[in-house]
A and B are shown apart, each in its own frame.
Chain A
Amino acid sequence: MSQQINFGIDLGTTNSLIARFQNGTVEIFKNPFGQKETLPSVVAFRKDRIIVGDKARELIEKDPENVFSSFKRKMGTSESFFVPNTSDFKTPVELSAMVLRELRNFIYTGEKPDAVVITIPASFDTIQSNATKKAGNDAGFREVQLLQEPIAASLAFANKQVNAASLQGQWLVYDLGGGTFDVALVKIVDGEMRVTDHEGDNYLGGVDFDIAIIEKLVVPHLQQQGSYPDLLTELRSARGKYNTLYHILLKKAEEVKVQLSNSSSAEIEFEIDEQDIYLTITREQFESVIYNTIQYSVDLVKKILDRNHLTAADIIEVVMIGGSTYIPLVKQLVTTQLGIPVNCSVDPTTAVATGAAWYAGTRSVSTPESPEKRQHSGAPLNIHFKTAYQKNTADKEEYFTAIVTGPVAGLSYRIVRADGGYDSGIKPLQERISEMLLLAENTNNQFNILVFDTAHHEIDADTPVISITQGKFNIHGQPLPNDICIEIDDLENNTTKLELIFEKNAILPLRKTIIKEVMKNILRAGQDSLLINVVEGSRYAVPGSCVPLGMIEIKSTDLLTDLVKGSDVEITLQISESRDLSVKAILLMNEQEFSEVFNPQVRQINIGKLKDDIRQLYQKAAAKMKSFKNRQQYELAAAVQQIQEDLNQVSSRIDRISDDDVTDEKYQLEEKKRKLAQQLDSTGKDQQILEITEQYFKRKEYCLQTIREQEDDSRIARFEKIITDESNYLSSQSYYTIKAKIDELDDLGWEIRRNKPETWINAYYYYASVTTDDYTDPQKAARFKDAGEKALERKNYDELKVVVNQLYHLLPDTKEGDQLKGTGIG
């Protein structure tokens, strides 16, 4: 059975790409390190490792003796490069093979192709072509088929067209890349696509345009603005005063160039001698500085036409490829000066690789590998790693070492981090290997060891996964012994509850910012205050039972303006390694800031808050006692009564404390209150959990019924998501956790019900049944009831909705008589 090659490689002078044809489409593979489609064709030889691609490119200018690029230009020559770092010689074929091997790593599917199509420039002669083939073989491709770049590009364009088979005549392929320019004349001869002539310049490309922006626009602008003696030299020289700036400008100029392809102007912004420079560059300015270069490329095209005695009418179109053809001036000059339509329908960066893959999809592997051989090459290698490293660490890098047993001679290895942030480069495998692994912070880092044979084929070896946790569970770091929470209002239950800020076992130091809403109006003339109370204890406990760590009280008299209900307060909590708690609150309405650092040894007690806590506890106790008595649980009721008596005692002792009391009594009373709160919380807690659990099941059933009536799959999926960890939260023994789930289910059900007329009809009948005199404004209520009747008659349910909302707001606040002082935030 014939097997297609499918894999195509654009082995470029500057950048290389790999693509695969499958089921009628082409996929360009991305570099697992950084997810870029292009791999710079650069190889760096460091003292102990080989680096290929982006990281190697970083070192080109600084270590040119050991870093090699543009070696494609030397393919097929007898030239070889001496590498001082390894005291070794490398040929262009060997360097190209390294790039090709690196591209193999882009194949995330696990496939290990042994045949490939590699593209070559139209100018390559037989020796250069054979050299490319050898590089392919050396990189582990048993079979290499070559394809000329202009043909590959043409295929990519042709396959984009609806009727590719109708491709006729001749056309030009204009390829202006990052560093090279090529143009080729292509035509169909005897049913076969052929390159009949070509021209090019190996030192012309996008980088020249970036440099033109700096040297012809930015530098003159700076020289107009101030005195910068010998600016260009200071920028370009490695020891120059502005060499760092030059590198910054190169990156910024590239961005400007890209922006100017779509906009008429772009801004470049940088700092020189602590002075901010903003420079607007128009497309017109940019075009004026690159005009001559583009003109030169067009002249090369004209040269081909003249040489072949062709006119514009003989050429169907100019196919544009290479990243620099995005520049509008390029398209414009080619069109106007040549009078030939341009075709830009394919991504110019990936066109050659795409075409190579299309071609590979049509080519069969001439000699498929025998199954026996495949089985042999797939057998795991008898190599074992005995590793040593610290599994938990606070450091940003960790030393890894391993003893390797088995036949390691000639093999190499590479360690990579699963998130793509670290790559050791390729290193020779020895009996002992070591590496400094860079870690991502506050997470578990997984590293894989890849082993390669002498031809750099990845081989199946029994390699361990290296797993290092940074920060999180560090044995040296201090974990929090308890949850840290803030107390917020729970208006529904007329009490306060806890909101988790830092979880138990989180490693210090910690910092978090949250936004909360102000739950009541606080007038400057009034007596109210806002409390930010930070406590330590289980997030599921009642606030009063937790240890207070620090509290900021924002009194009405502290305010610059009245504070309006619904405005936001931004709270930042920070706990240092020495356990100092910093609390900063900013009232976003008036930008007022309050902050305090609490030392846990100095406990802050607010008498007003203590009184309110006692009052709340007393009310809660009364409610519990009533409930127990109703259920004839007299033992529990008696226990609660005892708590109430104790609370009374504490309360009367608090009343006797003066504002400037210097004794320990308030601390003792606070401690006593906390114990009583814990006692009250645990008394009959089982009953409370049972009740909320019963309520949960009822609401869950109701919600499900509502969703099923609608037959809405997306809402069923959301329902499933809400209840996904049901057994966990039901066994949490936490009232608020179960309550939160009930609220989520209610919200989901309400989304459906609020769109149903009967919801509003039923609600209206309820409010209509309330005696008019019971509303806070009976006259208004009567008017709305009247409007509701009319809306019902007309079946105008939008109007009915408004009426229901208005009547709701006219009902008296039943909680008024027993208003929660609370914290004022929620």
Chain B
Amino acid sequence: MDPLLTLHIRIINQVFELDKKTAAKPELLSLQRNIDRIKQHFEEAGYTILNPLGETYRETRVDYEASITGEMSSEMEIVNVIKPVVYFTAGGQKSILQKGVVIAAAK
């Protein structure tokens, strides 16, 4: 992979971590705006960053890799996102740059 894209992915993952922390801790809320801004800059540069937290787990969705915790069930949801899904659009072509890494559990 292009070293610049790899660097961007690393930064996106860190920003995603920050985002998770600010969402969980009201005292860090003042950082949210800056985080949103960084995410927006990445989006303007062609990246689509997805956080599937809370979405229904689908085995046909291949842009994330899930670890299933607890008992298997027909209705499962994403309970934790370790890395976000990142797509990159270049020359009108959108493709996966990073598969998400998620934890799924029964609803």
Contacts and interface: CB of A to CB of B under 8 A. Distances in A.
Interface of A: 33-36, 44, 46, 51, 54-55, 57-59, 61-63, 238-239, 243-244, 246-248, 250-252, 418-425, 436, 438, 440, 443, 513, 515, 570, 586, 591
Contact of A570 (B37, B71, B103): B37
13 contacts: A34-B96, A35-B95, A44-B59, A54-B99, A55-B65, A61-B68, A238-B70, A238-B71, A239-B70, A248-B80, A251-B67, A251-B82, A440-B94
Give the interface SS of chain A, mostly helix, strand, loop or mixed. mixed
Contacts of A419: 87, 94-96
A58 B36 contact: no
A436 B61 CA distance: 11
Interface string B46-80: 00100000000011111101111111100000011
A58 B67 CA distance: 6
Contact of B37 (A57, A424, A436, A513): A513
B97 interface: yes
Give the interface SS of chain B, mostly helix, strand, loop or mixed. strand
B35 to A, nearest CB: 12
Nearest to B97: A35
A173 to B, nearest CB: 28
Contact of B62 (A55, A62, A252, A570): A55
B12 interface: no
A251 B101 contact: yes
A57 B67 CA distance: 9
A63 B72 contact: yes
The 7 lowest CB-CB distance pairs between A and B, nearest first, are A247-B67, A62-B72, A421-B63, A244-B69, A33-B62, A419-B94, A34-B99
B65 A58 contact: yes
Contact of A55 (B59, B95, B105): B59
A44 B80 CA distance: 23
Given A55-B59, A423-B60, 7 more contacts: A34-B96, A46-B59, A54-B62, A422-B63, A438-B58, A440-B48, A440-B87
Interface of B: 30, 33, 36-37, 40, 48, 58-63, 65-72, 79-80, 82, 85, 87, 94-97, 99, 101, 103-105
A586 B33 contact: yes
Given A244-B69, A251-B101, A570-B37, A34 B79 contact: no
Contacts of A252: 82
Nearest to B87: A419
A59 B87 CA distance: 24
A59 B37 contact: no
B99 A248 contact: no
Contacts of A34: 62-63, 65, 96, 99
Contacts of A423: 60, 62
Contacts of B80: 244, 248
**Which among A59, A244, A422 has the highest number of chain B CB atoms within 10 Å?**
A244
A423 B101 CA distance: 17
B79 A244 contact: yes
Contact of A239 (B71, B79, B87, B94): B71
A411 to B, nearest CB: 20
**Which among B36, B68, B72 has the highest number of chain A CB atoms within 10 Å?**
B68
Given A248-B80, A250-B67, A422 B99 contact: no
Given A33-B96, A51-B59, A513-B40, A58 B66 contact: yes
Nearest to B69: A244
Nearest to B73: A62
Contacts of A46: 59
Nearest to A512: B40
Contacts of B40: 513
A59 B58 CA distance: 12
A422 B61 contact: yes
A58 B101 CA distance: 11
Contacts of B68: 58-59, 61-62, 247
Nearest to A63: B72
Contacts of A63: 72
Contacts of B70: 238-239, 243-244
**Which among B48, B62, B79, B96 has the highest number of chain A CB atoms within 10 Å?**
B62
A440 B95 CA distance: 11
B59 A58 contact: yes
Contacts of B36: 513
A246 B58 CA distance: 21
A54 B101 CA distance: 11
A174 B50 CA distance: 40
Contacts of B72: 59, 62-63
Given A58-B59, A424-B60, A247 B37 contact: no
Contacts of A250: 67
B105 A421 contact: no
Contacts of B59: 44, 46, 51, 55, 58-59, 425
Nearest to B71: A238
Given A35-B95, A238-B70, A419-B96, A244 B62 contact: no
A422 B95 CA distance: 11
Nearest to A424: B60
A422 B94 CA distance: 13
Given A246-B69, A570-B33, A420 B103 contact: no
A420 B72 CA distance: 26
Nearest to B100: A34
Contact of A421 (B62, B65, B66): B62
A438 B69 contact: no
B94 A243 contact: no
Contacts of B30: 591
B69 A36 contact: no
Contacts of A251: 67, 82, 101
Contacts of B79: 244
A251 B99 CA distance: 13
A33 B61 CA distance: 10
A574 to B, nearest CB: 12
A248 B103 contact: yes
**Which among A55, A58, A421, A422 has the highest number of chain B CB atoms within 10 Å?**
A421
A515 B69 CA distance: 43
A306 to B, nearest CB: 42
A438 B60 contact: yes
Contacts of B97: 35
A420 B63 CA distance: 7
Contacts of B85: 421
A252 B101 CA distance: 10
